[in-house]
Structure 1
Amino acid sequence: MTSPLLSVIIPSWNRAGWICDAINSALLQGKPGSIEVVVIDDASSDNTAALLQQIYVEHIKAGQLIYRKLEQRKGCGYARNQGVALANGKFLAFLDSDDIWLPGKFAAELDIFTRFPQAQVVISDSLSFAEGKANQQSRFEFNGLKTACNSNECWLDECDWLWTNCENSIATCSMTLRRDLLPLLGLPLFADDLISCEDWELELKLYQYCRVRVKPVLLAHVRSFDDATRVERAAANKPRTLKQTQSLLQNRRTVMERTRLLPHLSKKLHQEFERMRKRTELQLDELASG
């Protein structure tokens, strides 16, 4: 059996109402056999398993959809790592179970990997939706990357973009990387001891150690719903609770404590990282005294 070009890893917990949208948007990215979808069910208590077995029975038989259910809930970082271990594709990408890719996403990325063999990672733009209502800005517009790259495809190290600011992160579903990067990045790929910021920690690795090509084109929709699946994070159109805010800041601090920026990076990137570190500590102190 020929290995797929792309493995799409989807962690899911009680998302039976949305996960088929994500799976379908992934399968439509290429010809049958070229796309492999790996679903890691994080111990869901809904009917996700039965639903997927019913709808995707042929895809499962053909090996185009791999489904594994964890016995205990471990979090999205752990689930993604389990998906990485099962993946067979030349390229890896990550898609949360309530998000969707737009048609042609992987074709656009594959074109870049073909034109630039030295490219190891491609990142692209996304648009967030809360309960179906779109944000006014895309992710690249919000985090300054669209301005930094002058709306043109380019190398990340050519952009004056402060990616060492955690609020400038991109959507996890907007990064695609070569699978042969895993030895360089180290395993597990995602931190499995965090319930947030695990994606930013991976970004910090990618941007420092890899050749990253920026594609400032909207290729994904990041959707959130108030469906009781975001226990640790704010639900759609709702502010974070005190506990959620504290958890986010603690995880952010953990990432910064164990990240050592490479010395050759620009002074601005180092300064922004230190500014975010001090700001995070101050916010945690304010909450504690509060």
Structure 2
Amino acid sequence: MTAPLLSVIIPSWNRANWVCDAIDSALRQGPDGSIEVIVIDDASSDDTRTLLLQRYARPIKAGTLVYRRLRQRKGSGYARNQGVALASGTFLAFLDSDDLWLEGKFKAELDIFARFPQTQVVISDSLSFAEGEANKQSRFEFNGLQASCNKRECWLKECDWLWTNCENSVATCSITLRRDLLPDLGLPLFADDLISCEDWELELKLYQFCRVRVTPALFAHVRSFDDASRVERAAASKTRSLKQTLSLLQNRRTVMERTRLLPELPQYLHKEFNRMRKLTEQQLAQLLSSDNQLPSIDN
């Protein structure tokens, strides 16, 4: 069997209602055999296993869909790492089980990799939805990357974008990288000791050490639903609880404590990183000193 061009890792926990949409949007990205979808079921207690084995019996038999169920819930970072270990594609991408890719995403990325062979990572824009209602801004509009790249395809190093601010991250489903980067990035690819910010920690590695091509094209819908599957994070349109906010800030601090920015990076990136570090410490101190007040987590 010929190796696929793209391996798509989908971690899922109790998302039987949505995961098929994600799988179908991934499989539509190329002709049969060019896309490998790997679903890591993080010990779901719903009917995910039965549904997938029935609905995707043919692609599972053909090897274009790989399904693995973990015996114990480990979190999305661990689940993604299990998928990475199984991947065989030239390129690697990640898609959460409630998100969708739009038609033509991988075709456009392949074109970029072909036109600029030195490209190691491609990032693109996305639009978020809460309970089916779209945000007013796309991710690139919100985080400043749309303005920084002047709404045109370019190299990341040409963008004055504050990616050292954790609020300016891109959607994980908007990142596609060459699988041969893995030895240089180090394994496990995602931190499995965090329940949030593990995606930002990966971004900090990619943007420092890889040749990243930015396209302002919008190729993903990042969806969230109040379906009880976001225990550690706020559900769609819901305010974070004190416990969720504490967890987020602690994970954010952990990422910044173990990240060492390259000294040759522009000083404005170092300055923003240090500002975020101090702000996070202040927010944590404020939260821990108050029994019932939720601190602001704005920039």
TM-score, with normalisation over the residues of structure 2?
Answer: 0.97
For residues 60-110 of structure 1, the C-alpha deviation after alignment (integer angstroms, 9 at most, x for no partner) is: 000000000000000000000000000010000000000000000000000
Structure 1: give runs of 5+ residues left out of the alignment: none
Determine the structure 2 residue equivalent to 1:165.
165
Determine the structure 2 residue equivalent to 1:216.
216
Which structure 2 residues correspond to residues 63-102 of structure 1 after superposition, within 5 A?
63-102=63-102
Shift of 1:3: 0.1
Shift of 1:21: 0.2
For residues 7-64 of structure 1, the C-alpha deviation after alignment (integer angstroms, 9 at most, x for no partner) is: 0000000000000000000000000000000000000000000000100000000000
Determine the structure 1 residue equivalent to 2:286.
286
Determine the structure 1 residue equivalent to 2:14.
14
Determine the structure 1 residue equivalent to 2:266.
266
Determine the structure 2 residue equivalent to 1:187.
187
Shift of 1:287: 0.3
Is 2:243 aligned against 1:230?
no
**Equivalent-residue separation in structure 1 for 2:227 and 2:88 (angstroms):** 32
Determine the structure 2 residue equivalent to 1:135.
135
Shift of 1:138: 0.1
The residue type paired with residue 265 of structure 1 is: L
**Equivalent-residue separation in structure 2 for 1:135 and 1:108 (angstroms):** 24
**Equivalent-residue separation in structure 2 for 1:83 and 1:100 (angstroms):** 18
Determine the structure 2 residue equivalent to 1:61.
61
**Equivalent-residue separation in structure 1 for 2:7 and 2:187 (angstroms):** 17
Shift of 1:221: 0.1
For residues 196-215 of structure 1, the C-alpha deviation after alignment (integer angstroms, 9 at most, x for no partner) is: 00000000000000000001
Identity over aligned pairs, percent: 79
Q: Secondary structure of 2:29's partner? A: coil
**Equivalent-residue separation in structure 2 for 1:192 and 1:242 (angstroms):** 23
Is 2:154 aligned against 1:154?
yes
Paired positions, count: 290
The residue type paired with residue 183 of structure 2 is: P
**Equivalent-residue separation in structure 2 for 1:109 and 1:250 (angstroms):** 35
The residue type paired with residue 109 of structure 2 is: E
**Equivalent-residue separation in structure 2 for 1:289 and 1:180 (angstroms):** 46
**Equivalent-residue separation in structure 1 for 2:43 and 2:224 (angstroms):** 20
Determine the structure 1 residue equivalent to 2:295.
none
The residue type paired with residue 80 of structure 1 is: R
**Equivalent-residue separation in structure 2 for 1:6 and 1:33 (angstroms):** 9
**Equivalent-residue separation in structure 2 for 1:152 and 1:127 (angstroms):** 18
**Equivalent-residue separation in structure 2 for 1:170 and 1:242 (angstroms):** 25
**Once superposed, what is the RMSD of the aligned Cα atoms?**
0.3
Structure 2: give runs of 5+ residues left out of the alignment: 291-299
The residue type paired with residue 249 of structure 2 is: L
Q: Secondary structure of 2:253's partner? A: helix
Moved beyond 4 Å, runs of 4+: none
**Equivalent-residue separation in structure 2 for 1:237 and 1:282 (angstroms):** 26
For residues 99-155 of structure 1, the C-alpha deviation after alignment (integer angstroms, 9 at most, x for no partner) is: 000000000000000001100000000000000000000000000000000000000
Is 2:56 aligned against 1:48?
no
